[in-house]
Amino acid sequence: MDLYAIIFYLFSIVTLASAAVVVFSKNIVHSAFALLFTFFGVAGLYVLLMADFLAVTQLMIYVGGILVLLIFGVMLTSDVINVQMKTGTMQTLPAVLIVSALAGTLVGVFWSTDWKVAQNAVGFESTAPKIGQMFLTSYLLPFEIASVVLLVALIGAALIARRERKAS
């Protein structure tokens, strides 16, 4: 087994095990914190795929932004003292249907794709300059639309926060 495989399995185990904790943990705060290791493991897998920019962005956006927000929410709702939140099983039938459809699609894609494995060593090249160039040339419109959507979200958030203050 070469080093690449060892690292790959290490990150995969971290990702899957922590994802299992997220799903099966009875304590919602534990679930939220376990998500940290899932995001971290996925970032590691990106690194192995030589997507360096994507990996760091994953850490920045998901760990630094979304996860912190999520933990804030969970901490505030489940109270400072651990009030039991409901983490039971419900809506079993729709869940089973959706999950099996999703899993079927993924496995189908996985089997039907003709995976090409590079025979020789592939030289590493930083992806950040390429992504930047692509965004400002070929994919300028999607990039601009995404930034407008983000701006709208930003202004919306500020507006909601302001209105609440006036009411009180």
Which residue ranges make up the site for other proteins (CB under 8 A)?
1-7, 27, 29-30, 33, 36, 47-48, 50, 52-53, 55-57, 59-60, 63-65, 67-68, 71-72, 75, 80-82, 121-126, 128
Shortest approach of other proteins to residue 82 CB, angstroms?
7
Shortest approach of other proteins to residue 91 CB, angstroms?
29
Between 68 and 98, name the residue whose CB sits nearer to other proteins.
68
Tokens for 166, please give them.
Answer: 């006036």
Residue 100: φ, ψ to 5°: -70, -35
- Cα-atom radius of gyration of the chain, to the nearest Å? 21
Between 24 and 101, name the residue whose CB sits nearer to other proteins.
24
Shortest approach of other proteins to residue 3 CB, angstroms?
5
Between 82 and 100, name the residue whose CB sits nearer to other proteins.
82
Shortest approach of other proteins to residue 7 CB, angstroms?
7
Judge residue 46's burial from the number of C-beta atoms within 10 Å of its C-beta, 0-12 exposed, 13-18 middle, 19 or more buried: buried
CA distance 162 to 94: 39
Between 59 and 143, name the residue whose CB sits nearer to other proteins.
59
Q: How many CA atoms lie within 13 A of 41 on its CB side?
A: 18
Q: Is 69 in contact with 61 (CB distance < 8 Å)? A: no
